Each structure stands twice: as structure tokens, then as C-alpha cells.
């Protein structure tokens, strides 16, 4: 058993919400009739990850090596009372934020990249491949692969690739090969470039490229979000938050986080699912999956290689606006989260990029932390929530899923 | 009841006549139950192997279907019908027809997933036809759903080991079986989905499972009319169960 000085807060187990859901989660479905795309997962994902993907177990022991790595990259992350923000917003209740930006890679993504890379290494792979939108998942994969002694390749959505050169730098520093998506390295990427050489790319396309690359190069694909096993790993955020609040003698009345694929938000709130806490999932108005998307089976990736999941989706061929919060451009959301939104347990909010930029400034000026544009959606939703709420007494906890120090060019265009 | 071997066949694959020949050759000392799948227009929770055995055109030949049920009833005491709820709502009096053919137990794989709010009314309708609803659970079934359905039913339980038929995801058989028994300590639980060999069977029974259901593993034998191969697999599984029990 790994002995940690942080053992009071760092959990020994991940939490899997499946046994505690109100209804049965719809299983993945094959995208094609003749072959099983579910079976295909056996060829590209770590076996241990698949075991966790379809697990009924409420808790999953975190391997000692992963716990040790968690500590090395900055876990537990701080839970901070945002006193200056409370004052600025003239709020007499308590506002806390869980700060995932304090990890080595600056976001929550490392929480699942580490176990996945270690599982892949243990199963004999030499190289891992993945996609990235804003660059946070790619950065986490690059570091996790490096810690595991593996090579890594990252397909980065073109819009972000060009907007965020520093993200490429840091991934390269960790040893990753970073490719712009759509790319010439896969048949799927080539097909988009043939139609539009300046195609902006999308996360769905980048996923398809990474999966094709994994299949043709005999390497292991790592998952950044959406799938249940990833959400289970991210429960470390909520479990730590729970302990930290207990120590402070607090309990959340309302929890707010941002949603791209849904892993940081789900990992943050699911450990509280049995409580009375209100939960609000904040996402981009430019990617209105919860208000304009459909709740039904849809493809994870644009190419339809992976299975279909029952989730809120704008369609796998959805090409989002070039908003800066690349991590929120994904067309779908995690199935368990989608179910809980569908049945009303979790509420949603959609905020525009203009509001997000204001929220970044507000948070930076009050708390000194520049949140990632994705995470600033939670701040914008908090501001809206307080504006429309009669209560001045609540304890509100936000997840700031990452920092925005590599995203400062969002301010280049001046005020929006 | 312990040590059951149920075999699954989709009605009409490869043809009803050939299925009848196959059924007549089954040894009732090895097979304790037959599960007949009503051909679905959308067998979405089946894997690719079982999916290819569904041909909705077969539904038109009701006399032949009735004969197949009767032949199965000659071999085993219990004939179970598997029907998708999505087909049931498209076809009038389907339960009456299948119950009239001799089906007493009904498995409805999409009920708790896509039509959970219809569960009570379906159970009621089955009871009115002197039939029983056989709950179909798997690793994704939440504890409270299992508990609610357990309280409302009295039949045996079908527990799917894999997310889809014929799929082979990595999992710990002992842990899955153990969890099912822990949730349902007083019920007969038969395990299916993805059972491929005698080792799987042995582990299920040793972990406390009541029995097994096999389907995908027999499909190629049925397709190739290699009935002896299918009989051998069934007898092998049955012997493994008997020795484990």
C-alpha cells in the first residue's frame, strides 16, 4: 500500500456511478451491422481500461503506482474559498473552487492519462496515440506516456493547432509527435483535406484519425473523455473535494463545472450524486448540445469506427464554430451525464464566448488565477446563477478544470 | 435449480425445418431449457453473430413457428421466448401468440434499457397470459433497478456477462457472478453472453451461478448444418456443469 502524506485527502479508490444511477445505462451499440465496433475496442484500448469501462463495481482501487504519480503531478489539488470573488459579487454565501489547473499539465486530463498510459505499458505497448482539441488532453497524454516510458502521437484539431502554438511546444517537450488534424497521415484525414485543404478540423475527425492510426500502427489508443472508465478516473476530483469540504465542515448546495465530453464535470459531481446538491453543467452557447442536440444513440467519432453511445449530441458531423474553448467543441457528452441531464437531476447552462472572456477577467482579477476558457464557462454560469438566485446563503463549489496561461491569445482581439 | 444449460436460437435460423431437425437430435439429459428468439427488425443488443440470425420475414410463417415451439417442448420442460419490446409494440397480440405456442417465460432485452417505464404494464400483461417476465440484467444494471425488479418478479434471472452477445470484453467472471448472487441471493441466475468454452462454464458454476445460456457459440454449427459439433459442445458444457455442481 502506497503511503502518502496526503492520504487524508487523496482517495484510495475511484468511484463508478453506474450502480447508483436511477436507470440502466444504455450499452454501446455497434455502428455497423457486419462487424462489431464494440469488439474493436479490444484491439485499440488497454484491457484494464475496458474492464473498468464495463464494470459494475462501485469502487475501483487506485493502483499504488498511479497514486504515487498523482502525488507527483500535484494531487490533491487545492480547494480554495474564493473570498475575493464573493466580495466582488457581493455574495454572502460561500464560493469554493477546486483548482485542477494546479496539476503539472495544468488541467484535470492527467487524472486519466496516467492510469491509461500505465495500463498500456503493462500490456506491452510501446506507443500510444490520441487526439486533442484545446491541447490539454494531448499535453496530459504526452506527459503520462513519458512517465510510462512510451512514445506518443497526438492528432490536434487544426483550429487549436494554429491558435495555440505553445500547446504544441509543451507536448513536444514531453516527447510527443504532434500532427495537425485533418492530416495526411490517415486515409480519413486525407479525405477531408481533398475536399477542403483548409478544413478547420473537429474533435470527431481527430478521434477518427487517432483510431485509424492505432489500428494501422499496432499501438494503443488513449481516451480523453466521454467513456465511463475516464469518468471513473476523474472521480478523484469529486472525492478529494468531498474530503476537503468535510474537513472545512461544509457541504455543497450547488456545484458548477464546464462540459466538453463531460469527464471533468462528471468526475467532480458524481461522488455527490446521492446528496441534495444542485448540479449545473455549463457549456458553450456555440456548441448547444443540451438545448439543440438530441438525446439518443450517436457516433463517438466522425468516421463511425467506434461504437455508438446514447448521449446528447449535435451529430458526429457537427463542425463547431472556431471558439477558443476547444475542449468544449465536442458534439456529444458522456452517457451517464446525458442520462442525468435528461431526467432533470443535472441542470445545464450555455454561455457565449463573450461572457466567457469577461468571466476569465473577473476570476483573474479577483482570485489571481487565469482559468482556461473552458473552465471559465463555469465562472460565467456562476455569475448568472447568482444574478438569478434569491439565496445568499448557499455553499457553491465550482470546478476550475484547468488554467488558461497558454490561452492568453484569446485576449488578442481586444474586448469582445 | 442448479446446473442448467439453456441454448439460444433465433427462430428460423438457418431455417425452421433445419432447426426442428436440430432440436429433435438434442439430448434432454444435457439441455434443460431452450430459448427461442423472436426474429427482430432491430436486434440492437445482440452482437454481429446473433444479429445475422435475425430475419423478420420468418414471422409470417406462424404455423412453422408454432411447430418449432412444440418440438422444443418435447425435449425440454421449459421453453423461453426472447422478444424485443420494440417488436412487441409493432405486432398485435404477440404475447398471446407466443404464449399460445408454449412459451411460459419471456426475456425482453431492451425493456429496462429503452422502455423502463413500460416494465410494470408488460409484467402485468404477461401475468394475464399465464406467463412470466424473466428479468435481464447485466453489469450496467443499477442496484436499485435490480432491487425493484426482484421484488416484482418470481422467475429465474438472465444475467448478461458482456455488453452484447458474442462479444469478448476482458472481465472477471468470478467477480461478475459473485455480484449477481450478492444482489439476488434467493434467485436462480443463469448467465449468458460471451460464453465460449468449458473454462468459462466452469468458472461461472464454481462462482455459484445456477446455469448458463449459450447461443453465439452454436451459430456457425447451425449455419453449416454441423449439428454433431453443436451437440458435442452442449454435452461438454453440461458435463463441466455436472462435475462442478
Please tell me the predicted confidence (pLDDT) of residue A392: 85
pLDDT band at A391 (very low <50, low <70, confident <90, very high): confident
A403-410 mean pLDDT: 90
Nearest chain B alpha carbon to A55: B139
Confirm if A256 and A282 have CB atoms less than 8 A apart. Answer: yes
Q: What does the block give as the cell for A281?
A: 453543467
Give the three-state DSSP class for B89: coil
SS3 per residue for A306-344: CCEEEEEECCCCCCCCCCCCHHHCCCECCHHHHHHHHCC
A340-349 mean pLDDT: 98
Q: Do A24 and B116 touch (CB under 8 A)?
A: yes
Instruction: List the 6-65 stretch of A: residues with Cβ below 8 A of B.
Output: 18-30, 33-36, 38-39, 41-42, 47-48, 50-51, 53-57
Q: How many other CB atoms are found less than 10 A from the CB of residue B28?
A: 10
Please list, in sequence order, all residues whose beta carbon lies within 8 angstroms of the beta carbon of residue A24, skipping any fewer than 6 positions away.
Answer: B112, B113, B116, B140, B141, B142, B145
Please tell me the predicted confidence (pLDDT) of residue A271: 98
pLDDT band at A34 (very low <50, low <70, confident <90, very high): confident
Nearest CA to CA, how far is A23 from chain B (Å)?
A: 7
Nearest CA to CA, how far is A231 from chain B (Å)?
A: 15
User: Which residue, chain included where needed, has cell 404477461?
Assistant: B126
Choose between A181 and B172: higher pLDDT. A181
Q: What is the rounded average pLDDT for all residues in chain A?
A: 94
pLDDT band at A214 (very low <50, low <70, confident <90, very high): very high
Count how many residues are written for chain B.
245
Q: With 80 as the cut, is the pLDDT of residue A321 above it?
A: no
Give the three-state DSSP class for A240: helix
DSSP code at position A296:
E
Give this complex's ipTM: 0.85
pLDDT band at B166 (very low <50, low <70, confident <90, very high): low
Dihedral of CA atoms A116, A120, A123, A124 in degrees, nearest 10, equals: -160
Please tell me the predicted confidence (pLDDT) of residue B1: 54
Q: With 60 as the cut, is the pLDDT of residue B171 above it?
A: yes
Whole-structure pTM over 0.90, yes or no? yes
Given CB atoms, is B139 within the 8 Å cutoff of chain A?
Answer: yes
Q: Find the CB nearest B48 among A30, A53, A55.
A: A30
Q: With 50 as the cut, is the pLDDT of residue A416 above it?
A: no
B214-242 mean pLDDT: 95
Q: What is the rounded average pLDDT for all residues in chain B?
A: 93
Please tell me the predicted confidence (pLDDT) of residue A248: 97
What distances in angstroms separate CA A156 from CA A136, A171, A181, A410, B134, one per listed residue?
10, 11, 5, 18, 48
Q: How many other CB atoms are found less than 10 A from the CB of residue B6?
A: 22
Q: Find the CB nearest B142 among A21, A35, A48.
A: A21
Pick from A52-56, A270-274, B103-107, B167-171: least confident: B167-171
Amino acid at each position: 500500500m502506497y503511503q502518502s502524506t496526503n492520504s487524508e485527502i487523496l482517495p484510495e479508490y475511484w468511484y463508478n456511478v453506474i450502480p447508483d444511477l436511477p436507470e440502466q445505462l444504455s450499452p454501446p451499440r455497434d455502428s455497423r451491422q457486419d462487424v462489431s465496433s464494440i469488439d474493436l475496442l479490444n484491439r485499440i484500448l488497454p484491457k484494464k481500461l475496458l474492464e473498468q469501462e464495463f464494470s459494475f463495481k462501485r469502487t475501483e482501487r487506485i493502483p499504488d503506482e498511479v497514486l504515487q504519480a498523482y502525488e507527483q503531478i500535484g494531487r490533491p489539488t487545492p480547494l480554495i474559498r474564493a473570498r475575493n470573488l464573493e466580495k466582488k459579487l457581493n455574495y454572502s454565501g460561500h464560493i469554493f473552487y477546486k483548482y485542477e489547473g494546479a496539476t503539472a499539465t495544468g488541467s484535470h486530463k492527467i487524472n486519466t492519462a496516467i492510469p491509461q498510459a500505465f495500463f498500456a505499458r503493462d500490456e506491452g505497448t510501446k506507443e500510444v496515440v490520441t487526439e486533442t482539441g484545446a491541447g490539454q488532453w494531448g499535453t496530459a497524454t504526452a506527459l503520462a506516456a513519458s512517465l510510462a516510458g512510451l512514445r506518443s502521437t497526438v492528432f490536434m484539431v487544426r483550429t487549436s493547432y494554429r491558435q495555440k502554438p505553445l500547446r504544441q511546444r509543451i507536448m513536444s517537450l514531453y516527447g510527443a509527435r504532434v500532427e495537425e488534424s485533418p492530416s495526411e497521415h490517415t486515409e480519413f484525414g486525407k479525405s477531408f483535406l481533398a475536399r477542403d485543404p483548409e478544413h478547420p478540423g473537429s474533435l470527431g475527425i481527430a478521434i477518427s484519425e487517432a483510431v485509424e492510426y492505432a489500428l494501422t500502427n499496432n499501438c494503443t489508443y488513449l481516451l480523453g473523455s466521454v467513456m465511463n472508465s475516464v469518468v471513473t478516473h476523474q472521480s478523484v476530483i469529486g472525492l478529494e473535494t468531498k474530503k476537503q469540504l468535510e474537513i472545512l465542515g461544509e457541504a455543497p448546495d450547488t456545484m458548477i463545472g464546464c462540459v466538453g465530453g463531460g469527464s471533468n464535470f462528471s468526475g467532480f459531481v458524481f461522488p455527490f450524486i446521492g446528496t441534495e446538491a444542485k448540479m449545473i453543467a455549463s457549456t458553450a452557447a456555440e456548441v448547444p448540445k443540451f438545448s439543440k442536440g438530441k438525446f439518443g444513440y450517436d457516433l463517438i467519432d466522425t468516421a463511425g469506427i467506434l461504437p455508438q453511445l446514447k448521449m446528447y449530441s449535435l451529430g458526429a458531423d457537427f463542425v463547431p464554430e472556431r471558439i477558443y474553448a476547444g475542449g468544449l467543441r465536442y458534439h456529444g457528452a458522456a452517457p451517464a451525464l446525458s442520462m442525468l441531464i435528461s431526467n432533470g437531476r443535472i441542470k445545464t447552462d450555455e454561455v457565449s464566448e463573450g461572457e466567457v472572456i469577461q468571466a476569465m477577467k473577473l476570476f483573474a482579477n479577483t482570485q489571481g488565477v487565469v482559468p482556461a476558457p473552458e473552465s471559465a464557462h463555469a465562472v460565467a454560469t456562476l455569475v448568472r446563477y447568482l444574478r438569478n438566485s434569491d439565496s445568499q446563503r448557499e455553499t457553491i463549489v465550482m470546478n476550475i478544470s484547468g488554467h488558461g496561461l497558454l490561452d492568453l491569445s484569446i485576449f488578442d482581439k481586444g474586448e469582445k | 435449480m442448479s446446473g442448467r444449460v439453456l441454448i439460444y436460437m433465433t427462430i428460423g435460423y438457418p431455417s425452421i425445418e433445419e432447426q426442428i431437425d436440430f432440436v429433435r437430435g438434442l439430448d434432454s439429459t444435457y439441455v434443460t431449457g431452450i430459448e427461442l428468439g423472436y426474429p427482430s427488425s432491430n436486434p440492437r443488443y445482440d452482437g454481429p453473430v446473433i444479429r445475422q440470425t435475425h430475419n423478420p420475414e420468418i414471422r409470417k410463417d406462424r404455423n412453422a413457428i408454432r411447430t418449432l415451439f412444440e418440438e422444443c417442448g418435447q425435449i425440454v420442460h421449459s421453453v423461453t421466448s426472447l422478444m424485443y419490446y420494440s417488436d412487441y409494440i409493432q405486432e398485435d397480440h404477440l404475447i398471446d401468440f407466443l404464449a399460445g405456442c408454449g412459451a411460459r417465460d419471456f426475456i425482453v432485452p431492451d425493456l429496462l434499457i429503452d422502455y423502463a417505464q413500460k416494465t410494470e404494464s408488460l409484467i402485468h400483461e404477461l401475468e394475464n397470459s399465464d406467463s412470466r417476465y424473466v428479468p435481464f440484467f447485466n453489469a450496467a444494471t443499477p442496484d436499485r433497478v435490480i432491487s425493484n425488479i426482484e421484488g416484482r418478479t418470481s422467475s429465474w434471472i438472465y444475467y448478461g456477462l458482456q455488453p452484447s452477445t458474442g462479444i469478448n470484453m476482458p472481465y472477471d467472471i468470478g467477480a461478475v457472478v459473485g455480484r449477481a448472487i450478492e444482489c439476488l441471493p434467493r434467485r436462480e441466475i443463469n448467465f449468458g453472453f460471451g460464453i465460449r468454452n468449458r473454462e468459462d462454464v466452469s468458472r461461472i458454476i464454481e462462482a455459484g451461478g445456477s446455469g448458463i445460456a449459450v447461443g453465439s457459440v452454436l451459430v456457425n454449427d447451425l449455419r453449416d448444418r454441423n449439428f454433431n459439433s453443436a451437440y458435442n459442445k452442449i454435452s461438454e458444457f453440461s458435463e463441466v456443469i455436472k462435475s462442478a455442481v
